[in-house]
Structure 1
Amino acid sequence: MELGLYPFLLAWLQTLWWPFARIMALLAFAPIFGDATVPMRVRVSIALVLAVVALPAAPAPQHIDPFSLTAVVVTLEQVAIGAMLGIGLQFATTTLSIFGFLSASQTSLAMAMLNDPIHGSSSDALSLLAGIVGMLLFFAFDVHLLLAGIVASSFTAWPVGQALDHLQLQTVAYHLGWVFAAAFLLATPIIFGAMLVQLGFGFMTRISPSLNIFALGFSVVTLFGLVMLAYMLRHLPAHYRQMTQRSLDMLTQLMHTHGG
């Protein structure tokens, strides 16, 4: 009885392993789920649940020996596909973080540095604030619920045993450029406004050299940056929705292109 049960368990685990490897890589690179604050047990539990749900859409190839070098290569292929999907979902949140860094560096708010004991690094408070806003919008727009649909569609476009090609990886790399472009466009009003304020103080220094431009200008630029951020905060959800839609369109295009 035990000898007859072993092949059944081995076949079942082999069927479950391929979706689990792909989903685990997706969660490792996806926003929120891939953060260092998320415990590994929670990430593994979510990956197992999604792997069981994705079993009907992910038929396992029967010709692959689970203890062969081919199985290792197929596992690495699943990790690469999951990483590509997770990086695609990360674009919108990364854009907001870059926007926070650009805004802080132009409005003297970069002086407020915070030590992050979890990630072991220091970053400005505005970038952390933009990252938190991105996390809230990630759940507010139900992007986390799209993960199951993306996983199921990925097994239709890239069945187990079928690898990515270099053109698809190039497409994801090329789309990374619009992340920096979108962040710069978001920060352009603050950058331009801060430049006008600094030019105005430069003219005031020429007119009245006795003014302490460093003490006065620092406070005014910081206050101006806070006012501009308060004004732009209400526009961030619409921009985040557009960036998320563009990321989903990119992933959908990759799946349809590969499937076609």
Structure 2
Amino acid sequence: MVVTDGQVLTWLGRFVWPFLRITGLFLTAPFFGSALIPMRVKAILAAVLAGALAFWLPNLPAFPGDPITAVYQGIIQIGFGAAIGAVMQIVVASIASLGEIAGLAMGLSFAELQFQDVPGETQVLYDIMSWAALMGFIAVGGPIWLFAAIAHSFQGGTAGLGAAALPALLAFGSSVVTTAVMLAVPVMAISLAINVTVGLLTVFSPQLNLLTIGFPLLILGGLSILTASLGDLPGSIEHLLNTAVRTIAIMVPIG
């Protein structure tokens, strides 16, 4: 039996095309891109998932034999997967930013922790909301959905992202600040009211200053309003996820 170069590149292509896109996904996607997962585990998981897609996607083209073309296609495929993962990372970042903005408003910015996924120190509320968003992402089947999106993206062949991919990603990226600020508005409002009240009290009674009653009232009031407003969080997350799905549908060219 004689094995030609074309046959080897065809067999290689059935594994390498999905492996490159999954690798890009693992660079940016929530959960998959977490620093808590060892790199060796990520590499093995990417290889296993790519092997599964190699049997499910039998019509993939041969991988380029030319080194320059192979490197170019590798960059394109990794960028493809990274862009899809970045869309879902925006959803998680929006919820995490809510905790950071609320913490700044209520005076909890001094309480910081070292979070392994983020370089440097981060606020406590940022860490809490980041973990909550990540757990919610896992609970709704986000990792499975992302893998399915990578699998179905090959319906458009091995071409790169569509022409509308970058504008769609940038437009969706603006939702990080917009959603976080809208969710943190109640905390910002009560913090402003408390600051104004304490400022007026200080004029008539200097003993009732910001240090004695201001900070305790800010923290207690801010945490109370934040807890009460968490009921609106599922609706906001659902809206973000629906927008993320539409964004990915625009980004991925379907043949």
TM-score by length of structure 2 reads 0.90
- Give the gaps of 5 or more residues in structure 2: none
Whole-angstrom CA distance in 2 between matches of 1:85 and 1:228: 34
Whole-angstrom CA distance in 2 between matches of 1:152 and 1:27: 14
Whole-angstrom CA distance in 2 between matches of 1:171 and 1:58: 30
User: Contact 1:26–1:86 (CA<8 Å) still a contact in 2?
Assistant: yes
Out of 197, 205, 215, the residue aligned to residue 200 of structure 1 is: 197
Shift of 1:155: 1.2
Shift of 1:153: 2.0
- Does the alignment pair 1:188 with 2:175? no
**Could you say what secondary structure the match of 1:111 adopts?**
coil
Whole-angstrom CA distance in 2 between matches of 1:247 and 1:63: 31
User: Contact 1:54–1:151 (CA<8 Å) still a contact in 2?
Assistant: no
Which residue number in structure 1 is paired with residue 14 of structure 2?
Answer: 15
Is the alpha carbon distance of 1:197 and 1:70 closer, same or farther for their aligned partners in structure 2, counting shifts above 3 Å? same
Shift of 1:10: 5.1
Which residue number in structure 1 is paired with residue 103 of structure 2?
Answer: 104
Where does 1:93-132 land on structure 2 (aligned, <5 Å)? Answer: 93-116=92-115, 119-132=118-131
- 1:28 counterpart letter in structure 2: L
**Could you say what secondary structure the match of 2:221 adopts?**
helix
Out of 226, 234, 237, the residue aligned to residue 234 of structure 2 is: 237
Which deviations, in whole Å up to 9, do the C-alpha atoms of 1:90-143 show, x marking residues without a partner? 111000111111000010111111134675410110000000101110111111
User: Contact 2:115–2:127 (CA<8 Å) still a contact in 1?
Assistant: no
Which residue number in structure 1 is paired with residue 254 of structure 2?
Answer: 259
Which residue number in structure 2 is paired with residue 147 of structure 1?
Answer: 146
Is the alpha carbon distance of 1:99 and 1:58 closer, same or farther for their aligned partners in structure 2, counting shifts above 3 Å? farther
Which residue number in structure 2 is paired with residue 61 of structure 1?
Answer: 61
**Could you say what secondary structure the match of 2:113 adopts?**
strand
Shift of 1:87: 0.5
Q: Cα RMSD (Å) of the superposition?
A: 2.3
* Percent identical: 26
- 1:92 counterpart letter in structure 2: V
TM-score by length of structure 1 reads 0.88
Whole-angstrom CA distance in 2 between matches of 1:240 and 1:215: 38
User: Contact 2:28–2:86 (CA<8 Å) still a contact in 1?
Assistant: yes
Shift of 1:250: 1.1
Whole-angstrom CA distance in 1 between matches of 2:121 and 2:63: 50
**Could you say what secondary structure the match of 1:259 adopts?**
coil
User: Contact 1:99–1:130 (CA<8 Å) still a contact in 2?
Assistant: yes
Is the alpha carbon distance of 1:7 and 1:167 closer, same or farther for their aligned partners in structure 2, counting shifts above 3 Å? closer
Is the alpha carbon distance of 1:133 and 1:117 closer, same or farther for their aligned partners in structure 2, counting shifts above 3 Å? closer
Shift of 1:14: 3.0
Is the alpha carbon distance of 1:58 and 1:72 closer, same or farther for their aligned partners in structure 2, counting shifts above 3 Å? farther
Out of 170, 174, 178, the residue aligned to residue 173 of structure 1 is: 170
Whole-angstrom CA distance in 1 between matches of 2:160 and 2:53: 18
Whole-angstrom CA distance in 1 between matches of 2:207 and 2:127: 38
- Give the gaps of 5 or more residues in structure 1: none
Whole-angstrom CA distance in 2 between matches of 1:57 and 1:247: 25
- 1:80 counterpart letter in structure 2: G
User: Contact 1:57–1:156 (CA<8 Å) still a contact in 2?
Assistant: no
Which residue number in structure 2 is paired with residue 137 of structure 1?
Answer: 136
The runs of at least 4 consecutive aligned structure 1 residues that moved more than 3 Å come to: 3-11, 56-60, 116-120
Shift of 1:48: 1.9
